[in-house]
A and B are shown apart, each in its own frame.
Chain A
Amino acid sequence: MAITQPPKIVTSRMGYDDSYTLERYLATGGYDGLRAALARTPEAVAAEVDAASLLGRGGAGFPAGRKWSMLRKNPVTYLVVNGDESEPATFKDHLLVERDPHQLVEGVVIAAYALQVSRVFIFLRGEFALGLERVQSALNDAYAHGAVGRDIFGSGFSVDVVVHPGAGAYICGEETALLESLEGKRGFPRIKPPFFPAAIGLYGDPTVVNNVETMSNLPWIMTNGGAAFAALGGGRSTGTRLFALAGHVANPGVFELEMVKTTFDDLINAPVLGGGIPHGRGLKAFIPGGVSAPWFGPDQIDLPLGQDEVAEAGSMLGSGSVVVMDDHTCAVRAAWRITKFFSRESCGQCTPCREGSGWLERIMDRIERGQGREEDLDLLMDACDNISPGVAWPPQQTTICVLGPSIPSSISSAITMFRDEFLVHIKEGGCPYG
C-alpha cells in the first residue's frame, strides 16, 4: 500500500524546538479549538466527538463519545486523564506530554466542557519527570492566559486541572487501579461490576477516564470538525494514530499514520518510517499492540493498522506499539522477559495472576538457561490455561483486571510459532542463538 499523507493531527508542532511553550502554541492555532468549543453547547461538542468516531487511544479502543455518554448523572463528576503509559514498548504519550503539553491541556478543557465537569486530574507516570514539569508549566501559563480556571475566555465555564504524579507501577494504567492510586492507595484494580468508573469512579463519584492521546486529538476535531476526522482512516478506525515502533528496525520512533490505510509492512519497512530491519537480517516476528498482544509472523505483515483488522487476525492494536524481532532473536528469551515483567507487575490481588505469573516466569527461566524439562511445554500451557481458560484470543478472564489474561499471550505465541526453538533449548541444554 502507499503511505498516505494525512494532516498531522497531534504531531503538528513536533518540528519546533519550543513546541511546548505557550508562545509557540498560540502562534500555531493553539486554543482555537477550545474557543470553538465554548461557542457551542456542551451537547454539540460531545456530538462532534461522537461524529469523529474517535476510538480511545489507551489500549482498549473504546469509542470516546460513547464513554462520555455513559457518565452517570450526578452533582459531582470527574474527568481523569490516563498518562500512566507503561505498556512495554509504548512511548507515544511520552512524546505528547513532553513536546506538546498545551495540546493536552486544551483537549482536557474541551472534554471537561462537553462533560460539564469542574475538576480534572491528569495522572502522569512518575518517571515522566520532564513531562510532569512541562505539563505543570503549561498549566501555569494556561491559567494565566485564561484557558483554564475560572470563567474560561469569558464563557462562564470554569474548570480546575491538577497534575498528579504516579510513583512507578504498571498496573496503575488500568483505569480503576489508577483511581485507587489517585485516592492515595495501593494500585489495586477494582472489580467491575460494580466499579465501572462512569458509574462509581473517583471518590465514588461518576468519572470518565481518557488517555492522553485521545485528549490530544480534541483540539483538531473542534477546529476541523468530526466529519473531517472520520473521513480519515477506514471502518471503525477513524483518524490518525500514533504508532510507537521499537526493536530491530533501522529507524525506531513514533509515527502519526492514517488508520487502516497503512500496513505493518509500511510501518516497519518504508524508508520514511521504520526503514527496515538492519544488518541485512530478516523478520522473525512482531508484536502488534503492546506485550499483552499475541505475536504475528512475517505472513501477517500486510495487515492494515486498523483496530478491527488486527482483532480479526487474532491479536490487538492495543496501545499502538509495535516491537520488531529479527531472525537472530531467541523467542524463548523474548517471551521469558515479557513474562518476568508481568510477574513483577502483578498487583497480587488475584491468585491466578499472582501465582501463575511467578510459576510461568520460573519455568521460562529454566528453559532459557538450558535446564528445561520435556514436560515443561505442557506445564506452561496448563498454567496459562489456569490463568485464562482456553488460552484463546480475546482471552477468558479469571481475574479482577485484564493483566492476568494478558500473561499467556507471549508464551502461547512463542510456543505455537517457535516450538522447535523451545525443544532445542530443552534437549540440547542451550540457546541456538548463543
Chain B
Amino acid sequence: MTESTPVAPPRRAAFAPAAPTHLSADVVARAHELIALYPEPRSALIPLCHLAQEQDGWLTPEAMVDIAGLVGVTPGEVLGTASFYDMLHTEPVGKHVVAVCTNIACLLGGAAELLEHAEHSLGVGAGGTTADGAITLEEAECLADCDRAPCVQVNHRYVGAQTPESFDQLVGDLRSGARDAEIPPHGTLIRVRRTTGIEADPAVVAEERRTAAEARAAREAAAEGGVS
C-alpha cells in the first residue's frame, strides 16, 4: 500500500456560500436588517430561521442553505442548531400548529384528558398532522399561561383554556378560516417590524464587531486544534 499521511479536511472547505436562491427578495432584505442588529452575524441565525418558517411554514433544506450563506456558517451548522429547538420544524407541519400543554399545572387542570380527546377528534397522535394539512397537534411543555389551564396555543398565539367541546369548535374555526385575522399561518411569529436600525456611535459598533470576531476566531482556532 502507498504511504500517505492522513490530512483532516478543512472544516468549511465544502461549503462556498452563494447568494440566496430560495428565500424571497423581501425575506432576504429583512434578514439583512436583522443581521445588522448584532455584533456577530451568526446571532441572527434563529431569527432568520423564524423568517424562513414565515415564508414556507417550516424550515426547508433550501432555506437552511440560504441562511448559512447569510450568516457565514455551513448548512450543517444551521440544521445542527435548529434541531435543538422545538419551534423550528425541519419537516413540514400543518397550517396551524396546535400545542396542548400537559405540564404540571395543566395536568392538574385536565390536560391529559384534553390531549386524548384532541388525538381522537383529529385522528392523529401528538406530533402528527391531519391528512388535509390543516392541523399539526403537539404535546407542549409549559407555555406560561397556567392560570388558564389546560393551556392551548395555535401558532404560538394563546387561545385560552379549552374543554373537549371548545377544542372541537376551535378546530372548526381554524379550518373555516374564522380566526385567520387573529392567528396567522404557522411560521409567522412577529408581525411588527423594527423601525430603527442601530443608532449607536459607529465607533462603538465597530469595537463590538471587532471583539466579537476576535472571540469567534479564538474559539474556531481552539476547535481546529482539537481537544488538548
Give the B-binding residues of A (Cβ under 8 A).
Answer: 75-76, 85-91, 93-94, 118-119, 125-130, 132-133, 136-137, 139-140, 143-144, 149-150, 158-160, 162-170, 181-187, 203-205, 244-248, 252-254, 287, 291, 321, 323, 325, 329, 333-334, 337-338, 341, 344-345, 347
Say whether A181 contacts B46, CB under 8 Å: yes
Q: Map CB proximity to A onto B79-104 as digits: 1 under 8 Å, 0 otherwise.
A: 01110111110000000000000111
Say whether A132 contacts B105, CB under 8 Å: no
Most buried by A among B39, B42, B109, B192: B192
Say whether B40 contacts A169, CB under 8 Å: no
How distant is the Cα of A265 from the Cα of B107 in the complex, in angstroms?
23
* CB<8 Å pairs between A and B, sample of 26: A75-B207, A89-B103, A89-B104, A89-B142, A90-B146, A118-B201, A119-B208, A126-B189, A127-B153, A128-B144, A130-B158, A137-B192, A143-B195, A143-B196, A144-B195, A160-B198, A167-B85, A183-B40, A184-B40, A246-B105, A252-B147, A252-B149, A287-B104, A323-B104, A337-B107, A341-B103
Closest Cβ of chain B: how far from A204's Cβ, in Å? 3
How distant is the Cα of A75 from the Cα of B205 in the complex, in angstroms?
11
| Cβ contact of A205, chosen from B49, B107, B211, cutoff 8 A | B211
Determine the chain A residues whose CB is within 8 A of the CB of B199 once the complex forms. Answer: 143, 149-150, 158, 160
Determine the chain A residues whose CB is within 8 A of the CB of B191 once the complex forms. Answer: 133
How distant is the Cα of A215 from the Cα of B220 in the complex, in angstroms?
35
CB closest residue in chain B, given A135: B192
Supplied contacts A164-B46, A203-B40, A291-B104, 11 more A-B pairs, CB within 8 Å: A88-B104, A88-B146, A128-B144, A140-B192, A166-B85, A167-B50, A184-B73, A185-B42, A185-B81, A204-B214, A248-B108
| Cβ contact of A167, chosen from B39, B42, B86, cutoff 8 A | B86
Say whether B43 contacts A182, CB under 8 Å: yes
CB closest residue in chain B, given A143: B196
How distant is the Cα of A130 from the Cα of B184 in the complex, in angstroms?
12
Say whether B84 contacts A203, CB under 8 Å: no
Say whether B87 contacts A184, CB under 8 Å: no
In the A-B complex, the 5 residue pairs with the smallest Cβ-Cβ separation, listed nearest first, are A168-B86, A204-B215, A184-B45, A167-B85, A184-B42
How distant is the Cα of A325 from the Cα of B143 in the complex, in angstroms?
19
CB closest residue in chain B, given A90: B144
Say whether A149 contacts B141, CB under 8 Å: no
Given A89-B103, A204-B215, A187-B144 contact (CB < 8 Å):
no
Within B127-161, the residues touching A (CB, 8 Å) are 141-147, 149, 153, 155-158
Determine the chain B residues whose CB is within 8 A of the CB of A253 once the complex forms. Answer: 147
Give the A-binding residues of B (Cβ under 8 A).
Answer: 37-40, 42-47, 49-50, 71, 73, 80-82, 84-88, 102-105, 107-109, 141-147, 149, 153, 155-158, 189-196, 198-201, 204, 207-208, 211-212, 214-216, 218
| Cβ contact of B144, chosen from A85, A164, A325, cutoff 8 A | A85
Determine the chain A residues whose CB is within 8 A of the CB of B105 once the complex forms. Answer: 88-89, 246-247, 252, 323
CB closest residue in chain A, given B38: A162
Say whether A345 contacts B147, CB under 8 Å: no
Say whether A158 contacts B144, CB under 8 Å: no
Given A160-B200, A168-B86, A323-B105, A86-B141 contact (CB < 8 Å):
yes
Closest Cβ of chain A: how far from B136's Cβ, in Å? 14
How distant is the Cα of A282 from the Cα of B97 in the complex, in angstroms?
37
Determine the chain A residues whose CB is within 8 A of the CB of B145 once the complex forms. Answer: 91, 94
Say whether B189 contacts A132, CB under 8 Å: yes
Closest Cβ of chain A: how far from B95's Cβ, in Å? 16
Closest Cβ of chain B: how far from A194's Cβ, in Å? 13
Closest Cβ of chain B: how far from A220's Cβ, in Å? 23
Closest Cβ of chain B: how far from A325's Cβ, in Å? 6
| Cβ contact of B146, chosen from A91, A166, A333, A337, cutoff 8 A | A91
How distant is the Cα of A333 from the Cα of B111 in the complex, in angstroms?
13
Say whether B190 contacts A132, CB under 8 Å: yes
Closest Cβ of chain A: how far from B100's Cβ, in Å? 13
Most buried by B among A85, A88, A139, A323: A88
CB closest residue in chain A, given B213: A203
CB closest residue in chain A, given B142: A88
CB closest residue in chain A, given B188: A129
Closest Cβ of chain A: how far from B62's Cβ, in Å? 19
How distant is the Cα of A119 from the Cα of B211 in the complex, in angstroms?
14
CB closest residue in chain B, given A138: B192
CB closest residue in chain B, given A410: B104
| Cβ contact of A165, chosen from B71, B80, B189, cutoff 8 A | B189
Given A205-B211, A246-B147, A129-B157 contact (CB < 8 Å):
yes
How distant is the Cα of A181 from the Cα of B50 in the complex, in angstroms?
14
Determine the chain B residues whose CB is within 8 A of the CB of A186 once the complex forms. Answer: 80-81, 84
Determine the chain B residues whose CB is within 8 A of the CB of A140 once the complex forms. Answer: 192, 194-196
Closest Cβ of chain A: how far from B225's Cβ, in Å? 17
Determine the chain B residues whose CB is within 8 A of the CB of A291 once the complex forms. Answer: 103-104
Say whether A133 contacts B85, CB under 8 Å: no
CB closest residue in chain A, given B218: A204
| Cβ contact of B87, chosen from A126, A143, A323, cutoff 8 A | A126
| Cβ contact of A133, chosen from B153, B190, B218, cutoff 8 A | B190
Closest Cβ of chain B: how far from A113's Cβ, in Å? 14
Say whether A93 contacts B144, CB under 8 Å: yes
Closest Cβ of chain A: how far from B12's Cβ, in Å? 16
Say whether A126 contacts B156, CB under 8 Å: yes
